[in-house]
Structure 1
Amino acid sequence: MRFGVSTFVTDEGIGPAELGRALEERGFGSLYVAEHTHIPVKRESRWPGGADLPRWYYRTLDPLVTLTAAAVATERLEVGTGIALVVQRDPIVLAKEIASLDLVSGGRAVLGVGAGWNREEMRNHGTDPRTRMRLLAERVRAIKTLWTQEEAEFHGEFVDFDPVHLYPKPVQDPHPPVLVGGAGPTTFDRVLEFGDGWMPIYGRGAGDLAVQIAELRERAGRRVPVTVFGVPAEAAVVAELEAAGADQALFNLKTLPEDGTLRELDELAGLL
């Protein structure tokens, strides 16, 4: 099983280049960062993680800028979104951004995707929360089309364009992996429809992970890669995930200034 971290990189914590170097020096294989473009002042949407929305949600850097900085400061570190809010992004722009990240990183980009939970945030982007799952699926399919076709065209309910040239193409063949976040009743449908892997959050709605992973792979008829997000720093949890058949564990890294982050990483490295 491989190991990385999932975190919020903010203007109040360690910088992305410094974080990337620190991870690679300690033997971690990946960095996955969260996304929120903004947090509306008046918010009715309940945060799935609890009552009060943590401060770092308000202050997170743009994920593609963050991952680019981490990528150019490292040589081997996998850089991924955990998750990109695709329903709030233009699919043509996102396709170019991820392909560009894959190019400058030498083929180390991963696109973790989801529809999000903050309905007020979505509405500010012109997205109707009621149709966000259909929008997510269509935009991801359009992105894959742009990555893999020389004269790409797409005609759907939400995304519609005649043949276009989009470069650069990704380094990875056929394209960077698309990991589908979430653990709802229809999540596996999305993994099978347009995903290349599954990325549940540890302890949040996934149930018995071993059972869930077995069910997904049986439905798919193949060994679907599974990356578990937000894993607590406990040896028993690592053993549990390994026994369940997970491919990668992303330890939950607190958002701290550089000194505090380095101490935290030293402790996490003991679990590798």
Structure 2
Amino acid sequence: MRFSLALPMLPPDRLLPLAQAAEAAGWDAVTLPESVFYPEEVSADYPYTSDGKRFWAADAPFVDPWVAIPAIAATTERLMLGTNVTKLTLRHPLLMAKTVGSTAAMFPGRIELGVGLSWIPEEFAWLDQEMSNRGARLNEQIDVMRAVLAGGWVEHHGRFYDFDRLRMDPAPDPAVRLHVGGHSDAGIKRSLRRGDGWIGAQCDLDAIADITDRLRELRAEIGDDALVPADRFEVKLTPIVAPTTEAMEEVEAMGVTEVITSPWYFYPGDPDDPIAQLDSVTRFGDEVITPMSARGTTETP
């Protein structure tokens, strides 16, 4: 199991110190969410709270992940860096591919991409994107990005995007792993057909069991249309469980391959205090990541 430190809604000056602390404490990755802007009024419910209300403040800081990721990569040595998630349906896939590919070429083997739909009608309306066809567009966007990021000459003539032969250099090597979000059956099928894995939001144990059961059932349904075999398919989410090895082992046994978490929400103290945040990153490393990493090791006589 991998562990990814989530860096949501943080002042810009905290991102690099927290990422550096995570690397020192043995974390595998850092993940950043995206919010383009905060509409004062929204015409849809937030899908991941019981009352449909947004849980973050209007002035909560969201640094653009594709600004933060290169900065973090330049000041760390081994952390994987990705998004949970980039709202791909708000952008042209060629421009997004250029950003991701350039970053991955500069930091080989350390960049991955999580993509999703976005739920906010105002984002689509004010960014001049169509919301009603977002699922079909996301399918095609992923196909376009995979093709151009693979390198060489590419042309594409689809329903939403049309271009003649082009190439986009530098092409990243190794390839960028792409994880697809969405808790609906359509989103899960998209992740199986087009992704290296599925990436989700906060889940309790019942929700994890539901997701992993549906991943198995829908994989059986689509059969050979799955992009990667089950033993290489990644399942990434934020489990709402205690920060203990026992809880993480239970989550792992259910089929989760990567835990994405902000540990300061699971320990006593002020979760907004910068010292408490740094301490929680180290504590989680000492109490969870290190012992789990040591499983199965033996001392050399």
Normalised by the size of structure 1, how large is the TM-score?
0.89
Match of 1:45 in 2: 44
Instruction: Indicate how the Cα distance of structure 1 residues 157 and 57 shifts in structure 2: closer, same or farther if over 3 A, else same.
Output: farther
| Larger RCO (alpha carbons 8 Å, 6+ apart) | 1
Task: Choose from 225, 229, 232 the match for 2:237.
Answer: 229
Q: Which residue of 1 aligns with 2:63?
A: 61
Name the structure 2 match of 1:74. Answer: 76
1:271 pairs with 2:288: yes
Task: Tell me, yes or no, if structure 1 residue 244 matches structure 2 residue 254.
Answer: yes
Secondary structure class of the residue paired with 1:129: coil
- Deviation (angstroms), 1:98: 0.8
Equivalent residue number for residue 162 of structure 2 = 160
Q: Is the 8 A contact 2:8 2:32 kept in 1?
A: yes
User: Alignment partner of 1:120: what SS?
Assistant: helix
One-letter amino acid matched to 2:70 = T
Tell me whether 1:127 sits opposite 2:129 in the alignment: yes
Structure 1's unaligned 5+ residue stretches are none
Task: Give the aligned residue type for 2:262.
Answer: N
Q: Please identify, of 77-86 and 149-158, the stretch whose mean Cα deviation from structure 2 is larger.
A: 149-158
Of 270, 275, 284, the match for 1:259: 275
How far does residue 15 in structure 1 lie from its aligned partner after superposition? 2.9
| Cα distance per residue 1:117-162 (max 9 Å; x no partner) | 1111122111222111111111111111111241121111111111
SS state at 1:223 partner? helix
Return the TM-score normalized by structure 2.
Answer: 0.81
Kindly provide the CA deviation profile for residues 72-102 of structure 1, in whole angstroms up to 9, marking residues without a partner as x: 1111100001100001122111101111111
Cα distance in 1 for partners of 2:6, 2:92 equals: 24
Name the amino acid aligned to 1:21.
Q
Residue identity over aligned pairs, in percent, reads 25
- Whichever of the two has the greater Rg, that structure is 2
Letter in 1 for 2:248: V
Rate the CA distance shift 1:115–1:15 in 2: closer, same or farther, 3 A. Answer: same
Runs of 4+ in 1 over 6 A off after TM superposition: none
- The one-letter code of the counterpart of 1:81 is T
Conservation of the 8 A alpha-carbon contact between 1:209 and 1:244: no
Aligned to 2:267: none
Instruction: Select 2:116's aligned residue among 108, 111, 114.
Output: 114
Distance in 1 (CA, whole Å) between partners of 2:263 and 2:120 is 22
- Say what the alpha-carbon RMSD is for the aligned residues: 2.3
Cα distance in 2 between the residues matched to 1:194 and 1:57: 35
Match of 1:17 in 2: 16
Structure 2: runs of 5+ lacking an equivalent: 265-270, 290-301
Distance 2:263 2:155 in 1: 40
Deviation string, structure 1 residues 247-266 (Cα, Å, up to 9, x no partner) = 21112355745323202212
CA distance in 2, matches of 1:15, 1:56: 19
State the SS of the aligned residue for 1:46.
coil
Report what 2:298 is aligned to.
Answer: none
Instruction: Quote how far apart the aligned CAs of 1:17 are.
Output: 2.0
Moved more, 63-72 or 101-110: 101-110
